[in-house]
Structure formats: structure tokens, C-alpha cells
Structure 1
């Protein structure tokens, strides 16, 4: 019999279940209706035993409220049990913490969204009727100095990526959801991404707005640049912005990675964690191919969600394989070649211009690779350490098995020599 004090929790109905979670940590779970009833009764001050009796009286179902509370405490949802503080993960520090929902309420305005889409559509119409406005790949080579083009394009790309992520952050913050912009990895790609996990507790329109806000801003910027070129004439910098934004929108369509369109698709398909479930199902199929059958990870999911996960798993495997092959080709035939040329030039530079060009190229390439490694390690370091500890814990067993195998092989060799000598002697 305990009294429970929760952290601030958000709850919304989602089909036959409810989504419950903390916006400040981004942790969310799906619970049945009587679980939500238990939380609400405990929030009203009832003890766990009193809440269990009340639920049984109102629904006719017996609920192990004590076990349910223990599970919620393990997830970090419980602040206090009776007079005892419960340890829980600290809230994630958001980007721009002083920015409040009241400051950016306009980010959810349908009028703003309509204006941005109008600019994007008008720019597309202008480019359709004026071929000179359409960007070309040659527009990226706006300078004869390759290093200048490389450094300027990198700076422009990161600035535009920040604006994209800022759109996600502002729309999420307007909905009362803290967000954090950080560097991350998607396969071999270094990306800037915004963690807005707390948006799960918002209504569908708000969730879709947060998912699509970055792409809408990208299209509006591209449309605005096209309109500026239509009014003042073609300009190389505006063409570079248009091309960069169109490429950014195109990459969001690679749904085999967790892009903006992926999260929209996941929500439309009513899947809880499409990527994780598809990864587990792909590993399950791999185990079956190796004749190591196990329990199907999709058991227990609704039939419609199972079909969606199976289809997405095929897309994820094929897309990831193709992306990794492309990444390998770019690494070996472009990145390493450019880096090798830069280092060769630095070994015996013909002049200060060539040396500066080589240094800039090396700094940009090595800097990007270093950022990728740092972002990958931050995300996967715990898993790597756990795997290393698991491997060390199995090492004595592996050594014993190896010694046993060696002894059996040695015994077999002795037996073989004995039989062979007897055969020869006979």
C-alpha cells in the first residue's frame, strides 16, 4: 500500500491504447485504458491498494497496481513513493532553454504554413515557365578554386541544415515539447537532427506539423530564391541555395533511414517503432536463413502493423545495402583520393597557394569524418562497451572450449597414428 507521486505526464488516446510519457525526457509507452485509470486514481491521492479496488469495482478487472507502479518507476515516471524519492533519469537539456511556448506560438499558425506553401508553389510555377531559373549541377562550381567551393558549400549546407532543424525545434516548442538539436549519424551520413520525442503526446495535426516543418521551410526557401531570381535575374548564389534545398528535400524521402518522412509514415501506419521492429524482424529472418530459428519478434502486434513492418523491413534492408555500397564508393573513389592528393601536395608543395588549398581540403575532409566518428560513438558507445564486457565475460569459457577442442583433436591424431601404425605393421 503506497502513495505515488508522478513526474508531469502527458496522455493521449491512440486507438485501443493510450500513449503515456514524459515530455522532458522523451520516454513514452503504450498502456491499456485501465492503466491510464490507475495513473489518474493515483494522481488523485489514492493508494495502490485503493486504486486496485476502485478499478476492479468500475471495470471488473483485477489490476496489479503495485507491479504497474514498479514498471513505471523503472521507466522514470515516478517521482516519489510515500516519503521515498525514486531515482529517475534527469530531463534532457533542450536547445535554447529560455525559449518558451508562448514566444513561438506563431510557429503552429495555419496562416504561416499556408504562406510558406504559397511561396514554394509560386517558385515552382516560376521555374516551370522560365527554364533559366532551373538550377544545374554546374552552378555548384561557381569558382575556379576547388577549395573555396568546398569550404563555402560546407558552410552554406550546415547553415541551411540548422534552419531546417530550427523549424522542427520551434514547432515542437510551440506545442510545449522541449527539443534538442544535435549531430547524429544515419548509416554513413553525418546529419543534424532534432530530438522531439515528446511530440508523441500531442494530437495528430501537431505531430504532422512538427514532422513536416523542416521540409516546408526548405521548399519555401527554394521557392523564395526562385522568385528573387525571376524578379532580379539569375544569381549563382541563389541557384546554389535552391539546389542544396532540393537535394535536402530529396534525401528526406529515403525512408529506409529515420528521416522526416519516415516519422510521418510511421505515424500514418500506426506503428509504435517501425524501425526497431523492422530491424528485429530482419535479424529474425537472418537467423532463419542460418537455421537458427527463434521467436518471431512480431508476435503480439496487430495484423495490420505486422504487414507494415514486414514490408518496411524489405525496404530497409535493400535501401541500407544500396546506401552503404554508395558510401563505400564515395569514400574510396572520392574522399580518400582527394585526401591523398592533399597529403601528396603537402609533402612537397609547389607554392603557398597549393599548400593552402591542400590544407583546407584535408581539414574539411578530416573534420567531417571526425564529426561522424564522434556522433557515432556518442550514440553507440554504451552498446559497444556492453558488447566488450560481454565478450570478456565469455573469454574464459571460449578458452576452455578451445582447450577442450585442442585436446580432442590431439587425441584424435594420436588415435589415428596408432591405427595407421597397426595397419602398416599388419
Structure 2
């Protein structure tokens, strides 16, 4: 038997991979990509053998000798290449696409101190102290009227937007910098969740790190919010009377409360997902809900959770209930806010624009209307960017089904309008 040539039995080189054990599998991936995969132990053995310089067939023979199983290493390597984990297979090269990174000049050694547990303990004392002082001193907590700190809608809306987005920027920076401290790249971008316009930090590479690092990154934004919130409460308790201090406290209170909406993939959602051991809780739940929604229409398909362990299936089904109930409630509240606050504020602005008010009222109304329209326009644009292709596919699918039904309903040989009699 002639020995195989290098072209027929190539060596394989990988990108800079990271991996960690997870139950009876291995989590494998590389930084700078969203492709993080789970492999069985034999798959990890194959990667180690290939990384040591074994060819594809040599690796296959070694695995057969050690496990008694005949593994198609060539197909396995091709799948790894499609996931962006392979640098070369023989003479074939797989270039790495550059992914956007926020604050690229910040290196891990610049911010490694953020992972110090002593720092974490000290930071947690601030919100605890602020809450304790606020509970013992009535009047420290601001009322909802704090948002209406001026009679002019322009100042109210613009200042609230400025405060809100500054706090959001700090929140996302906490995620980004703690992730960077562990060696994970990331980027901050805008997105939508239900009716909310949100900023979010993409740090998929944190899945390759240990649990302590993962939980630190997930909770870092909440901790920073709580520290600022606690500091503002302490300042109010000690007599600070800055007019916008209550606005900051109330805004952060809402932000911390919103983190409990785990059905919207908030920071606490990722904590829950990690602690329950679910690999992709939201995606599995979405597939399960689509499966359940299709049952009344007679669409029978394999159960989407059949491959999951029983414990994980229970978590997915429980989370599915939370998603449905929470989404319905959140949309209902959002519609109330839209009709009772946003539309009324917009209507008031339009009235001032048309009733010949003084120039200051006209300017106030114009800016208020422009800001409201701009914010909702930005939300619509981001929503369509994320969901537009899915909407188009759904519309095409509905049209195709209607076309097939109408075609099936027309008997062959039926006369057409304008046809020969």
C-alpha cells in the first residue's frame, strides 16, 4: 500500500484556541469571534493530536487505537474550519476576519486590577451603606416627581436623555473593561429589546473563561450602577441638594429594577444561564416556543429540546413561561407609557407649535417633538436591522403558501377570464 502524500493526508494548524472543561464536554473557541462550540472529549483529543503535528490520518489511527472508535477526522476538521477555528489544512489557508473592538488600545494589563476581589468587596459596601442610610432617614429616596424637575419639556427630555445615556455608557464600559481584564475582546453597540432602545456589550469570548471571571463580567455593570446609586443616596442623606441628584437616583433605581427582567436577556439573565448550566437558554426557549405555537396548526416536528438533559429541559420550560408572561406584561406597560406619556407629550408639543404661542414655548415644543421622533425613529431602524430579514422571510413564506393553496384550489381545465368559449 502506497503511503499517502501530504496533499492527501494534510497537517492542520489552528487559530489561537482557548478551551475549558464543562461537565463531560469541552468549550472551545477563539477570542474575537462569536463561534464558541462544545466538543466531546474525543473531539478535544483530536485537536490535541493535530496541534502536536499529527496528520489527519495519523490522528484518526491514534484515536482508533485509544478509543476503539473510527472518527472521521477530516470531516471534523472541516467543521472546525467553518467555525473559524482552523488556520490551515495543508496548503489551504483560512484568514481571520478582523472583528470590531471598542477601546482597542486598552490592554488586559491596564485594567487587570478590576478583577481584584478586595476591590469588589469595597465597592459592594457603598450601595449597602447608601441603602441603610436611606431606610433610616426618611426623604432620602426621591419621588417620581423628581423626573419633572422643570416646567419645560425640552430640558426634561434632553437632560433625562443625557443622564440616562451617560449612565448607560458607564454601565457598558464596566462590562467591556472587566472582560478586557480577562483577555476578552468586546465591543459596545446599540440594539433593541422589545420596546426598549438599549446599548449592549458583546463579549462572547467570556464563555472560554472560568466561572468567576464570567460572573464578574456579567455583574460588573450592575455593581457600578449600584455603587453610583449608593453614593448618590449617601450624598442626599448628608445634605447635598444638587437639583439633578434625585434624577440620577431615580434613573438608576429603574435601571437596577429592569435588570430583574431576565426574559429580556439582561445581565441577570446571563447569571441565571450560567448558574443553571444552560448553554443557550434564550435560543433553546425561542425554539421551544415556536414549536409549541406551531402545534395548533398541525405542524409536527421533532421536539427541539429532545437532545437536552432533563434538568436543562426543565429550566428551559420554566424560562419559557417567564418569557411569555414577562413579554406580554412589558409590552402592555410599554403601550401604556406610549399612550399616556409619550403621545400626550408629543400632542402637547404639536399644540404649542400650532396655537401661536410665544417663541420660547415654540422652541420648547419643537425640540421636544424632534427628540421624541428621533428616539423612536432610531429604535425602529435598529429593530428593522435586527429583525428585518426575518420579517421578509416570513412574508415570503406566507405568500408562497397562499400561492400554493390558490393553485391547488383551481381545478385543471377550468376556463379563465377572456379565454375561448
Tell me the TM-score normalised to structure 2 length.
0.91
1:142-175 deviation digits (Å, cap 9, x = unpaired):
1122221111011100100110111000100000
SS of the equivalent of 1:132 reads coil
Q: 1:68 aligns to what?
A: 76
Structure 2: which 5+ residue stretches go unaligned? Answer: 1-8, 416-421
Distance 1:12 1:253 in 2: 29
Q: What secondary structure, in the 3-state scheme, does the structure 2 residue paired with 1:12 have? A: strand
Structure 1 segment 64-213 matched on structure 2, within 5 A: 64-86=72-94, 90-213=97-220
Distance 1:87 1:176 in 2: 22
The Cα of 1:407 is off from its aligned counterpart by: 4.4
8 Å contact kept, 1:346–1:358: yes
Alpha-carbon contact 1:132-1:234 (below 8 Å) kept? no
2:64 paired with 1:56: yes
Aligned to 1:228: 235
Summarize deviations over 1:246-283 as a string: whole Å, max 9, x none: 11011000011100000000001100110111111111
The 4+ residue runs of structure 1 with deviation greater than 3 A are 232-236, 381-388, 397-401, 406-411
Write out per-residue CA displacement over residues 19-41 of structure 1, whole angstroms, 9 at most, x where no aligned residue. 01122112101110111111121
SS in structure 1 at match of 2:305:
coil
Please name the residue that 1:3 is paired with: 11
Q: Deviations over 1:323-358 (max 9, x none)?
A: 122222322333233223323332343221111111
Deviates more, 1:195-204 or 1:49-58: 49-58
Residues 133 and 234 in structure 1, CA contact (< 8 A), matched pair in contact too: no
Partner residue of 1:15?
23
Q: Deviation at 1:293?
A: 2.5
Asked if 1:336 is matched to 2:336, the reply is no
Q: 1:140: Cα distance to partner?
A: 1.6
Please give the alpha-carbon distance, in whole angstroms, between the structure 2 residues aligned to 1:31 and 1:141. Answer: 55
Query: CA separation in 2, counterparts of 1:68 and 1:370?
Result: 46
Q: Distance in 1 between matches of 2:241 and 2:65?
A: 74
Q: Name the stretch that deviates more: 288-297 or 74-83.
A: 288-297
Q: Secondary structure at the match of 2:261?
A: coil
- C-alpha RMSD over aligned residues: 2.1
Q: Flag structure 1 segments of 5+ consecutive residues without an equivalent.
A: 412-426
Separation in 2, partners of 1:409, 1:359: 64
Shift of 1:235: 3.7
Aligned to 2:297: 290
| Compared CA separation, residues 58 and 330, structure 1 to 2 (3 A) | same
The offset of 1:234, in angstroms, is: 4.2
Q: Distance in 1 between matches of 2:93 and 2:52?
A: 19
Quote the residue 2:352 is aligned against.
345
Please say if 1:267 is aligned against 2:289: no
1:122 and 1:223 in contact (8 A); partners too: yes
Task: Determine the C-alpha separation between the residues in 1 that align with 2:67 and 2:356.
Answer: 82
Q: Deviations over 1:288-337 (max 9, x none)?
A: 23332321100111110011101111111111111122222322333233
More moved, 398-407 vs 330-339:
398-407
Name whichever of 36-45 and 399-408 sits farther off. 399-408
Determine if contact 1:211/1:263 at 8 Å carries over to the other structure. yes
Change (3 A) 1:391 1:11: same
**Is the aligned partner of 1:402 residue 2:406?**
yes
1:44 Cα deviation from its structure 2 partner: 1.6
Q: Conserved in 1, the CA contact under 8 Å of 2:153 and 2:365? A: no
Residues 3 and 82 in structure 1, CA contact (< 8 A), matched pair in contact too: yes
- The separation in 1 between residues aligned to 2:187 and 2:344, in whole angstroms, is 36
Larger CA deviation: 329-338 vs 237-246: 329-338
Give the match's secondary structure for 2:262. coil
Partner residue, 1:418: none
- 1:87-123 Cα offsets, whole Å, 9 max, x none, are 66x2321101111001111111112111110111111
Q: 1:288, 1:26 → 2: CA distance?
A: 32
Q: 1:408: Cα distance to partner?
A: 7.4
